[in-house]
């Protein structure tokens, strides 16, 4: 179980550790939590949309600590990222990245995101969360 948590935490840190999208990010297992504004918190986590163990999306939830759920969005990697030829011959056509979990192992399967892919995911998350910033909602 420790391997899974470390992998998910490592990937969330790659996306949000700088603190420019999620302020004061905290990482625990498979979740990143932090602030958007003085009144709103955020939770980011990888989720499965089709098959258990195939994490093909990033879910971001905006929370008001006093009022509960404000909004939630799911960013599917297939929508954000270009399909690429996989490193595995079993997939002759293009494939979108996803995280595959098998017992104690978690890894990107068939296609690994590039640094440019991580930047696309960061930008989508940042654009979405900017709507809830203090300037706009203030």
Domain presence at residue 98: yes
Q: Write the pLDDT tens digit of every residue in 107-121.
A: 988 778 899 999 999
Residue 93 lies in a domain: yes
Asked if residue 138 is part of any domain, the answer here is no
* 116 within some domain: yes
Domain hosting residue 8, numbered range: 2-132
Is residue 137 domain-resident?
no
Instruction: Tell me if 127 is assigned to some domain.
Output: yes
Domain for residue 12, yes or no?
A: yes
Domain count, the chain: 1
The answer to whether position 73 is within a domain reads yes
Task: Give the pTM.
Answer: 0.85
* 44 closest CA partner among 72, 7, 6: 72
Residue 86 has pLDDT above 60, yes or no: no
Q: For 32-56, what is each residue's pLDDT tens digit?
A: 999 999 899 999 999 999 888 899 9
């Amino acid at each position: 179980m420790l391997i899974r948590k470390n992998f998910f935490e490592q990937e969330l840190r790659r996306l949000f550790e700088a603190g420019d999208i999620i302020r004061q990010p905290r990482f625990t297992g498979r979740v990143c939590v932090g602030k958007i504004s003085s009144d709103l918190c955020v939770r980011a986590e990888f989720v499965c949309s089709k098959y258990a163990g195939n994490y093909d999306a990033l879910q971001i939830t905006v929370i008001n600590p006093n009022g509960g759920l404000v909004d939630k969005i799911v960013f599917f990697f297939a929508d954000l990222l270009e399909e690429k030829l996989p490193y595995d011959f079993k997939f002759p056509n293009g494939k979108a990245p996803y995280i595959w979990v098998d017992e104690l192992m978690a890894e990107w399967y068939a296609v690994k995101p590039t640094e440019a892919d991580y930047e696309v995911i960061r930008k989508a998350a940042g654009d979405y969360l900017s709507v809830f910033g203090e300037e706009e909602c203030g």
